């Protein structure tokens, strides 16, 4: 009889506070679960001890039959309280400390959206501040719940249960690696494709793949450009030629102009033609007139007007539209000679004829020329 009682007693485990035990879920309630851990009574797992994160109801995480590893946080003859959160935390802290020390990156799933950032379950609560989620500003984080992000630990404080994560740091490292790869591989003379990132008064910054190069305003086009927006826009894909690379200061000089056909290559004008253009510059010896983008012809001061002038400014002003006759074309030397004077001469009205005068006189007075001067002629006979 005594032996049977002893055998019955040995069927149950001896469980003490602090022990780590394995158990199977036997019942799931809204705010707790019951587990068989081999003790004489089922252990209770309160919802507060289920996870480091806020849980609405136990059934969100557990089902009957699930097997768990738990820590005994209270043990008595008639009560056994268990914690899954404590076991998870014990394991997590050691792993997280190693990742923090080694600056490892790893994936997490966003469990919740809270004011100021995102919450993840690491076995302990992990937090990604809003400013450390992306490299750009994010106004609405609602779509991030359930999303997986690659992060690294930027702040680790076990005593205060604080783990701060950053997805932005991972992105920054990727951009930096890409920038260095681009910077080390690029060389003067390369023609590559880039994207216009932003415009300034002095030019355009073009993304070459992790690093921006500058196209100075003078290198945007063959013709004079007043503002970069005349030629390019943000987001536009462009071909650029590398003019200079300063790896120490991470600066790259670019040219769009050098990838485009020169304006003189497409000039199709011959001597004797009449062209229209804009007066670009006035100098002491004449005026430069732009007859096509980037193509200027010279009107020598002697070809500006039929009357004598001392300076081109007496007749012309910059920005004025004029028509001129082409005197000479030398494409090899990129020179075109123009004449305003000869164009004016070609536009002269035809001189009025004798018949015209006779017709006008007859129409106006009713007398012929002979009638009007006939008497005068008789005096000399």
Question: What is the CATH number that goes with domain 186-259?
Answer: 2.40.50.140
Length of the chain (residues): 381
**For domain 103-171, is the CATH number 2.40.50.140?**
yes
Q: Which CATH class is domain 21-100?
A: mainly beta
**Which CATH superfamily is 264-346 part of?**
Nucleic acid-binding proteins (2.40.50.140)
* Strand, helix or coil for residue 338: strand
Task: Name the 3-class secondary structure at 342.
Answer: helix
Supply φ then ψ for residue 104, to 5 degrees: -75, 155
Report the alpha-carbon distance of residue 34 to residue 28 in Å, rounded: 7
CB 269 within 8 A of CB 279: no
Task: Tell me the domain boundaries of the chain.
Answer: 21-100, 103-171, 186-259, 264-346
Per-residue pLDDT 10s for the chain (381 aa) are 444 444 444 456 688 888 889 989 999 998 999 999 988 889 899 998 888 777 888 988 889 999 998 989 888 878 899 999 888 888 889 899 999 999 999 999 999 999 999 999 898 899 999 999 999 999 999 999 999 999 999 999 998 989 999 999 999 999 899 888 888 889 999 999 999 999 999 999 999 988 999 999 999 998 889 999 999 999 999 999 999 999 989 999 999 999 988 888 778 889 999 999 999 999 999 999 999 888 899 999 999 998 999 999 999 999 999 999 999 999 888 899 999 998 886 665 545 544 444 444 443 333 344 443 444 434 334
Which tokens hold the place of 140? 């609405």
State the pLDDT at residue 304: 93
Long-range contacts of 135-144 (CB under 8 A, 24+ apart): 135/168, 135/171, 135/172, 135/175, 141/113, 141/117, 142/113, 144/110, 144/113, 144/118
Q: Do domains 21-100 and 186-259 have the same CATH topology?
A: yes
Q: Tokens 């485990």 identify what position?
A: 13
Residue with tokens 């004029």: 322
Q: Is residue 100 packed enough to be buried (19+ CB in 10 Å), middle (13-18) or exposed (0-12)?
A: middle
Q: What is the DSSP string of 156-180?
A: EETTTTEEEEESHHHHHHHHHHHHH
Could you give the CA distance from residue 208 to residue 193 in angstroms, rounded to a whole number? 7
């Amino acid at each position: 009889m005594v032996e049977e009682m002893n055998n019955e007693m040995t069927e149950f485990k001896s469980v003490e506070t602090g022990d780590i035990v394995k158990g199977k879920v036997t019942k799931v309630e809204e705010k707790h679960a019951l587990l068989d851990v081999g003790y004489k009574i089922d252990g209770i797992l309160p919802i507060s001890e289920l996870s480091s994160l806020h849980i609405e109801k136990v059934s969100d995480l557990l089902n009957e039959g699930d097997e768990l590893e738990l820590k005994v946080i209270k043990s008595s003859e008639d009560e056994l309280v268990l914690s899954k959160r404590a076991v998870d935390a014990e394991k997590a802290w050691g792993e997280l400390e190693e990742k923090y020390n080694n600056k490892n990156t790893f994936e997490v799933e966003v469990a919740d959206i809270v004011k100021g950032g995102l919450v993840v379950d690491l076995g302990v609560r992990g937090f990604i501040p809003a400013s450390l989620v992306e490299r750009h500003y994010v106004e609405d984080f609602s779509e991030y719940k359930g999303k997986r992000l690659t992060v690294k630990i930027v702040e680790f404080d076990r005593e205060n249960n604080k783990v701060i994560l950053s997805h932005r740091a991972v992105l920054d490292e990727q951009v930096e690696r890409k920038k260095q790869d681009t910077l080390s591989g690029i060389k003067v003379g390369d023609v590559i494709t880039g994207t216009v990132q932003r415009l300034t008064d002095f030019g355009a910054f073009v993304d070459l793949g992790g690093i921006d190069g500058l196209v100075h305003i003078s290198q945007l086009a063959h013709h004079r450009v007043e503002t970069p927006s005349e030629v390019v826009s943000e987001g536009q894909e462009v071909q650029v030629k590398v003019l200079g690379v300063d790896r120490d200061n991470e600066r790259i000089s670019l040219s769009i102009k050098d990838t485009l056909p020169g304006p003189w290559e497409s000039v199709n004008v011959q001597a004797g033609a009449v062209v229209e253009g804009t007066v670009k510059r006035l100098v002491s010896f004449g005026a430069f007139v732009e007859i096509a983008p980037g193509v200027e012809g010279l009107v020598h001061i002697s070809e500006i007007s039929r009357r004598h002038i001392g300076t081109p400014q007496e007749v012309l002003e910059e920005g004025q539209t004029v028509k001129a006759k082409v005197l000479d074309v030398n494409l090899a030397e990129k020179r075109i000679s123009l004449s305003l004077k000869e164009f004016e001469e070609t536009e002269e009205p035809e001189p009025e004829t004798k018949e015209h005068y006779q017709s006008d006189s007859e129409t106006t007075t009713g007398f012929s020329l002979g009638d009007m001067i006939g008497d005068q002629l008789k005096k000399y006979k």
